[in-house]
Chains A and B, each alone.
Chain A
Amino acid sequence: MASGVKPRVKVPKTAAAGETITIKTLISHKMESGQRKDSDGNPIPRSIINRFTTEFNGENVVDVALEPAISTNPYFQFDAVVPEAGEFKFTWYDDDGSVYEETKSIKIG
């Protein structure tokens, strides 16, 4: 597991039923592209997050496939509909098999 991986997600605490909300996510990750070389000229092996998904109460919101061209500390912003109170679940999948998860609950009101 890459060190110092910390997911951060911004979701409003409350929303009206059926309202559209904007979600911003950021995860600290070096996203080593596999193109760079170290000081001795040896290629640094690729180590990136290759998939990111968001679900709300088990239903999919977005599913993103990431390539090495995504910047360090991958950032995503997108819109979601909130039909009822519940929980957003964010999952990041690392090349090395690690899975990073974060959840945010949202209330109707």
Chain B
Amino acid sequence: MELTRRKLLAIGASTFAIASITGASAYASLTDDAIAALTGGAEAGEGAITITAPEIAENGNTVPVAVDAPGAVAITLFADGNPTPGVATFKFGPLSASRSAATRIRLATTQNVVAVAKMEDGSFQMAKANVKVTIGGCGG
């Protein structure tokens, strides 16, 4: 088989794709552990929480993320591709109007941002958003 430039590029691209997929999931189990520790193993429902994040983030150093979970007492954010999955925990007090917040986070690579909300009745709600990161934001 003659190795043309075109073929070589195709091979390069496919290996890169595989590498980035495995890279993204390398820390995922850490996130699962962290979520399990938070919920105490309870199954988290879906629907009552929304997470707003860009589909593609050019700069992983500042990715705007917003969460909204009516009736939540606390919302915890995780990033499953970061070296440490925890991002932030918002606890809402009596004078908090809407159980929503927005901040800017660091993402090391393309990954899922996971929001877990603890509701007033003690149950948990979970939402995920996949963010493609062009330039990672954890330094190196």
Contacts and interface: CB of A to CB of B under 8 A. Distances in A.
Interface of A: 20-21, 33, 35-37, 55-56, 59-72, 74-81, 83
B87 A62 contact: no
A55 to B, nearest CB: 8
Which A-B residue pairs are the 5 nearest by beta carbons? A60-B93, A36-B139, A79-B97, A20-B97, A77-B102
B87 A67 contact: yes
Nearest to B106: A69
**Chain B interface residue number, banded:** 20 to 34
Interface stretch (B8-16, B18-26, B78-86, B122-130): B78-86
A67 B82 CA distance: 11
Nearest to B91: A63
Contacts of A59: 93-95
The DSSP consensus for interface residues of chain B is strand
Contact of B89 (A35, A65, A76, A83): A65
B62 interface: yes
Nearest to B62: A71
Of the candidates B84, B86, B96, B105, the one having the most CB atoms from chain A within 10 angstroms of its own CB is: B96
Nearest to A21: B97
Contacts of A36: 138-140
B87 A70 contact: yes
Given A33-B138, A62-B91, A63-B93, A69 B105 contact: yes
B103 interface: yes
A74 B61 CA distance: 11
Contacts of B88: 64-67, 69-70
Contacts of A81: 95-97
A80 B96 contact: yes
Contact of B139 (A20, A33, A61, A63): A33
Given A36-B140, A79-B100, A70 B105 contact: yes
21 contacts: A33-B138, A35-B83, A35-B138, A36-B138, A36-B139, A59-B94, A62-B91, A64-B101, A66-B88, A67-B88, A69-B79, A69-B107, A70-B104, A71-B63, A71-B105, A77-B102, A78-B102, A79-B96, A79-B98, A80-B96, A81-B97
